[in-house]
Every structure is written in C-alpha cells, then in structure tokens.
Structure 1
C-alpha cells in the first residue's frame, strides 16, 4: 500500500520523481532540495468518481448579492416573468439570480441554477431541463 512521505528538512509533502540517471523512483520535496529513494517502486493513482446529483447549495439571501449575474426568466412556481432592470436590486423590480453548480465533475457540463427574487425558489436552467427530457425520450 502506498504511504505519504514528508520532507525531513521542511516537513512538506514529498512527491514521486524519477531519477533519470539511475532509473529509480525518488520522493522529492518541491520546496527544498531534499529527496530520498522510495522503499516501494510502485506509484498508485486513485481517482474517485462520485455520482453526485447537482446541488444548489446554500441559496439563502442570494438576491441581495450584487456580484451575481441577473436574468430575465419566468419562475416555474409563481409564474411571474421576472423583468431585469439594471440598478433595480432593491427597487421592487423582479428578477432572477443565477449561479453555477457547486459540484466539481470532469465529465459533465456546468449546471445553472436560478433563484427567483419574488418567491425565493431555486430552480434549474429551463433549457437544460428540456434538453435532458429530450435526451431521455431518445434513449427509450
């Protein structure tokens, strides 16, 4: 089994590196010149693939964040067409705040979530939802 090694000089993590002259596997520090020969010549790479569903995460008070982008979109709960007007954050105009999926996956595309500033519901990008329905129908 692989183990984690630390530098004896600066206590940083040691990384595997090939000694190209002697053709042996070494552990080398990236912060100082320390290196040592490994006891086990095997290098293991373990990729964790987690099948996690997209999650919006914490959505409380998103509409008050002035750094998030805004969009004109119809909310599926209150069915109001949310009209975006610049500088209308606190003036009573309705809009929807959108943000990307907080999960990190290499194989999937980014998912957009919308948060209605009227009823505070968080919902998926309607175009993505429609595309997923079409793909599911094609697979059947």
Structure 2
C-alpha cells in the first residue's frame, strides 16, 4: 500500500496526475507547480456505498474531502464559485451507466449538480 505524498515545497498533498503525452503517472501539487514522477503505477481509490437517505448527507461533506479530485473548469450554477470536487456514482438505471457529480467548494454554498453530457 502506498503512503500519502506531500509537496517538498509547500507541504500540501500531492495528487496523482496522468501525463498523456509522455504516458507516465505523476504526483502533482495543486498549490504550487511541483510535480514528480510516480515510483509505481498503482493508484488507490476509496469506494463509498450509501443508500438514498445517506447519500444527501454524504454529498454535503465531500467538498472538504482532500482525496477527491477538484476542478476549476466548471462554475457553480448556484453561486458562480469557480472550484468544485467531482466524483462518479453508478446510476440506478442500467442504461445510464456512470454519472459525474460536482459539489461546490464554496463553504457557504455546497450546491450539488451532475453532468448530464
């Protein structure tokens, strides 16, 4: 099992990132420009399984989860904040497959939405 990696420049968590052109796995800091090549190509993930009632409570807490990926390429439809965490959940319908969900990182908002594309 791999331990968490921290940036040697600013001490923030390093997150896995794929370099598609060079076809390698990197660990990158989201706070500064530091990147380093991964020593192994195995990335672990946490899988959550919740019922419908638990899901709404779970969604309210995900914005503070440091293990979830974040993006600045979407804007919150509720408050126009420019950062959100995102994750995928299996749809209840067999035809819908996976659905991408976003949660606004603005602590005063926490709006949840899904990507319907």
Answer whether TM exceeds 0.5 for this pair.
Answer: no
TM range (shorter): 0.3 to 0.5
Higher-Rg structure is: 1
Under a length normalisation based on structure 1, what TM-score does the superposition of the two structures give? 0.37
Query: Structure 1 or 2: larger strand share?
Result: 2
Under a length normalisation based on structure 2, what TM-score does the superposition of the two structures give? 0.43
